[in-house]
Amino acid sequence: MKILSAEQIRAADAYTIQSQNLRSEELMERAGITIFNWLHQQLNGSPVTLHIFCGIGNNGGDGLVVARHLLEHGYKIQVYVVNYSDKRSQDFLINFDRLKEQKVWPEILKEKSPMPDIQDGDIVVDAIFGTGLNREPSPWVGRLMQDLNSGKNLLVSIDIPSGMFLDKPSDLGRVIHANYVLTFQHPKLVFFLPSTGSFCEQWVALDIGLDEAFINSLDTDYELIGYHEIRPLYRFRSKFSHKGTFGHAVIAGGSHGKIGAIKLAAEACLRSGSGLVTAYVPGCGLNPLQSSIPEVMVLTDGEEKEIREIKIPFQPTVVGIGMGMGTSKPSLAAFRSFLEGWSSPVVVDADGLNMLAKEKAMLKLLPPLSVLTPHPGELERLIGSWKNEFEKLEMAREFVKKVGCILVIKGAHTIVLDKEKGYVNTSGNPGMATAGSGDVLTGVITGLLAQGYTPLEAALMGVYVHGRAGDLCLQAQSMESLTAGDIIIQLGTAFREFYLEDSTQSNEEEGE
Ligand SMILES: NC(=O)C1=CN([C@@H]2O[C@H](COP(=O)(O)OP(=O)(O)OC[C@H]3O[C@@H](n4cnc5c(N)ncnc54)[C@H](OP(=O)(O)O)[C@@H]3O)[C@@H](O)[C@H]2O)[C@@H](O)CC1
Ligand SMILES: Nc1ncnc2c1ncn2[C@@H]1O[C@H](COP(=O)(O)OP(=O)(O)O)[C@@H](O)[C@H]1O
Ligand SMILES: [K+]
């Protein structure tokens, strides 16, 4: 699903009005009714009081439409106009009059107005600012937002939490902390970034009939990926395939005390369908690997405790490298000389990334379209520090263009970047913040590359399937107990869902 910028949202809005021959107030009515229907479905006529805070633009206009429909369906409402400007929009004014026709006179809140009386358990609907925010809210509006945030009320934001910019950092002291964001048609990038995402606890994208053909024609910087985007990439196996069809992956790394990283990555690689898997480890890895995963072949370095040279006596399809490897001078030299002699995409993780950060000249040795899988700490070592999430993404995009790689920025919503686009993943859960889960991801991506998926496909499918396997773990256990090994076990079910016609996946429309 495409993630639109503020400008693209305005364009889709304008295009829809024109192509469907609508008046803008009719689109607002449709938007407001859609929000009302969602609320009505959840509340089912409950006697709770809803306090609707409206700005003076179109987001406020939406709030007024919602208020009118709530009233018509017998809900108890209190409506406020947060009067931060005199420039009321046309459609706001139309709906302001319609509400007054229903004998509702909203309370006008100004700088010195006392905070309205809201009882614990009442619901607050936030329609103060939408996508038209173009400067910081003034301090008194910020204070009102803080008061609303500190109450014991469910906070439902229309379109976006008020005070949040879509394409630049926001002053988070002046942003509504929404329990639910009822957004129009497509989710916004800020819902998925760590700093702003925590202000959007759950989001729901509501279809208001914006022209999807037009939206599909837009070239967006970001896309959301879930089951429906990944399934078409899935390749069914032909009846006459054999293990040679699915490649031979090498998982290289490990050092004394860190052979487990290779065990996890190699097993995940195998369970993602690589025909053959060989682990390349220092001598101390031989026995533990041979006894724990007999399906995986093992090659050892002459050294016992760390890798000092990487000599692979056959031509592997793909190499995943760096997990638990350490960054000592001899290991770095081995990595460098491996890259000098290697020309097809590699998957680099963990200490492989740290070595690239230590000796940036090695980045030039990376074969084109190699997949790099940093967590935030590794990313910072690679690209330098950033002031905010937007700068981070800009810097990461620059890096991708310069190096010619695919970058998998790991996190709650992992973002896969190639030179064209960013893909925001929707699967996964905080239970996956556990030792070794990144090693599993590297194994999965390497296994997919071994089978012939392109590097971008392997990164996208790998990230989605890894998160999905993590989510499946929670059907039988808790976030606390989840281990990286459990994720490997669930890979089977996660892949199997691609065979099923009617999967129950629907995380595109609703997220947390
Ligand atoms: N897209 C769609 O498909 C649909 C969109 N719809 C709805 O429209 C919403 C966008 O509405 P919007 O453009 O009127 O802007 P909104 O956020 O209400 O702000 C109002 C005005 O406030 C001003 N202003 C800005 N910052 C300020 C500040 N800090 N302090 C003071 N003033 C400030 C600024 O005007 P300015 O003063 O700069 O001229 C701005 O124009 C969108 O989120 C959705 O809810 C639906 O109705 C239909 C379908
Ligand atoms: N809160 C979270 N929600 C979803 N996925 C998460 C969360 N925290 C971590 N993960 C995932 O778990 C993995 C952690 O990787 P990493 O930090 O490299 O772990 P390790 O180094 O222990 O292997 C990443 O794929 C990341 O996206
Ligand atoms: K809002």
Q: What CATH code is carried by the domain that includes residue 97? A: 3.40.50.10260
Looking at the structure, tell me whether residues 275 and 344 fall in a common domain.
yes
Q: Is residue 257 part of a domain?
A: yes
| Residue 340 tokens, joined | 């000098």
Looking at the structure, tell me whether residues 338 and 456 fall in a common domain.
yes
Q: Quick one: 508 exposed, middle or buried, by C-beta within 10 A (0-12, 13-18, 19+)? A: middle
Looking at the structure, tell me whether residues 250 and 302 fall in a common domain.
yes
Looking at the structure, tell me whether residues 10 and 130 fall in a common domain.
yes
Q: Are 462 and 479 in contact (CB under 8 A)?
A: no
Q: Give the type of residue at 462.
A: G
Final residue of a structural domain among 186, 219, 252: 219
Ligand 2 centroid to residue 216 C-alpha, Å: 31
Looking at the structure, tell me whether residues 299 and 399 fall in a common domain.
yes
Is 437 close to ligand 2, i.e. is its CB under 6 Å away? yes
Q: Is residue 165 part of a domain?
A: yes
Q: What CATH code is carried by the domain that includes residue 396? A: 3.40.1190.20
Q: Is residue 104 part of a domain?
A: yes
Beta bridge partner(s), residue 156: 125, 180
Q: Is residue 271 part of a domain?
A: yes
Looking at the structure, tell me whether residues 252 and 205 fall in a common domain.
no
What atom in ligand 2 is closest to the CA of residue 411? 27
What CA–CA distance (Å, rounded) separates 24 from 310? 65
Q: How many residues does the chain have?
A: 512
Nearest CA among 455, 471, 488 for reference residue 295: 488
Ligand 2 pocket test: which of 259, 264, 375, 445 has the largest number of ligand atoms within 8 Å of its C-beta? 375
Looking at the structure, tell me whether residues 270 and 194 fall in a common domain.
no
Cβ density class 201-236: b for 16+ within 10 Å, e for less:
bebebbebebbeebbeeeebbbebbbbebbbebeee
What was the pLDDT predicted at 29? Answer: 97
What was the pLDDT predicted at 511? Answer: 53
What was the pLDDT predicted at 243? Answer: 76
Q: Are 183 and 205 in contact (CB under 8 A)?
A: yes
SS3 at position 326: coil
What was the pLDDT predicted at 245? Answer: 87
Looking at the structure, tell me whether residues 290 and 418 fall in a common domain.
yes
Q: Is residue 506 part of a domain?
A: no
What was the pLDDT predicted at 241? Answer: 85
Ligand 1 pocket test: which of 20, 85, 165 has the largest number of ligand atoms within 8 Å of its C-beta? 85
Q: Is residue 508 part of a domain?
A: no
SS3 at position 318: strand
What was the pLDDT predicted at 501? Answer: 62
What was the pLDDT predicted at 507? Answer: 43
What sign has the CA pseudo-torsion 142, 147, 152, 157?
negative
Looking at the structure, tell me whether residues 431 and 300 fall in a common domain.
yes
Total domain count for the chain?
A: 2
Nearest CA among 463, 458, 451, 455 for reference residue 374: 463
Which residues fall within 8 angstroms of residue 288, CB to CB, at 6 or more apart?
259, 263
Ligand 3 centroid to residue 63 C-alpha, Å: 9
Q: Is residue 287 part of a domain?
A: yes
Give the domain extent around 7: 2-219
Q: Are 2 and 186 in contact (CB under 8 A)?
A: yes
Sites in the chain below the pLDDT cut of 70: 501-512
Q: Are 355 and 379 in contact (CB under 8 A)?
A: no
Q: Quick one: 109 exposed, middle or buried, by C-beta within 10 A (0-12, 13-18, 19+)? A: buried
Q: What does 250-287 look like in DSSP terms, one character per residue?
A: EEE---TT--HHHHHHHHHHHHTT-SEEEEEE-GGGHH
What was the pLDDT predicted at 510? Answer: 46
Ligand 1 centroid to residue 133 C-alpha, Å: 6
Q: Are 355 and 322 in contact (CB under 8 A)?
A: yes
Instruction: Give ipTM to 2 decimals.
Output: 0.94
What was the pLDDT predicted at 78? Answer: 98
CA dihedral 330, 334, 335, 341 (to 10 degrees): 160
What is the model's pTM? 0.94
What CA–CA distance (Å, rounded) separates 344 from 370? 8
Q: Is residue 437 part of a domain?
A: yes
Which residues fall within 8 angstroms of residue 428, CB to CB, at 6 or more apart?
412, 413, 414, 466, 467, 468, 470, 471
SS3 at position 55: coil
Looking at the structure, tell me whether residues 183 and 293 fall in a common domain.
no
Is 436 close to ligand 2, i.e. is its CB under 6 Å away? yes
Final residue of a structural domain among 160, 187, 219: 219
Q: What does 382-435 look like in DSSP terms, one character per residue?
A: HH---SSHHHHHHHHHHHHHHHT-EEEE-STT-EEE-SS-EEEE----GGG-ST
Q: Of the bound ligands, which one is closest to the alpha carbon of residue 185?
A: 1
Nearest CA among 292, 315, 319 for reference residue 307: 319
Looking at the structure, tell me whether residues 212 and 296 fall in a common domain.
no
Looking at the structure, tell me whether residues 145 and 11 fall in a common domain.
yes
